[in-house]
Structure 1
Amino acid sequence: MREVGVLRDFYITYFGAKSNALYHIKKKGGKSYFLSFDEEARLELMGHSDIAE
């Protein structure tokens, strides 16, 4: 699930996004970041351990 952190860094670096702390989805074994942008747009990046690479 490293890709979620890589994508988060991409949006922060190139689009000026602001990120919350990593959120763990305990029941489904996933992780999530919520990103916000100056124009009030929001984006959720999710990764799950059961998805093959």
Structure 2
Amino acid sequence: MKIEHIAMYVNDLSLNKEFYIKFFNATSNDLYHNPKTGLRTYFLTFENGARLEIMNRPNMVDEQKELMRTGLIHLAFSVGSKEKVDSLTKKLMEAGYPVLSGPRTTGDGYYESCILGPESIQIEITV
């Protein structure tokens, strides 16, 4: 069994799509739009086949996102080496995305950094 994809609602589909394409080498399908419900969605596919569905609807409620809360907390991307963690973290910081931690080796042995991506989505970058 495997997770087929993760989905999340976002306010700005274009911003989020371009973020994952630019920094995480995602590829995107064409926009799907259901005129009856107003749903708009993209599937973003990553190098190993993992997929992220980003979607929105006209009447979404955008609540304040707290970093320390229950529920889905972050998306983690493995980039293959410590040097790539460092490099991508630097690129994201230079592009204006806040670095929440790292790069560092955590107590459980991960070399990682955490950044705050578009719409306050926490992104973990690891080896």
Relative to the length of structure 1, the TM-score reads: 0.86
Choose the corresponding residue for 1:47, options 56, 72, 75: 56
CA-based RMSD of the aligned residues comes to 1.6
Question: 2: CA distance between counterparts of 1:24 and 1:40?
Answer: 23
Choose the corresponding residue for 1:38, options 32, 41, 47: 47
The one-letter code of the counterpart of 1:5 is S
Query: 1:6 deviation in Å?
Result: 0.6
After TM superposition, the runs of 4+ consecutive aligned structure 1 residues lying more than 6 A away are none
Query: 1:18 deviation in Å?
Result: 0.2
1:20 aligns with 2:25: no
1:9 aligns with 2:23: no
Name the SS for the 2:36 alignment partner. Answer: coil
Query: 1:5 deviation in Å?
Result: 1.1
| Structure with greater helix percent | 1
Query: 1:27 deviation in Å?
Result: 2.5
Cα-to-partner distance string for 1:1-42 (whole Å, 9 max, x where unaligned):
860111000000000000001100222112000010111101
> Which stretches in structure 2 are left out of the alignment for 5+ residues?
1-9, 63-127
Question: 1: CA distance between counterparts of 2:61 and 2:53?
Answer: 20
> Which stretches in structure 1 are left out of the alignment for 5+ residues?
none
Identity across aligned pairs (percent)?
40
**Structure with larger Rg:** 2
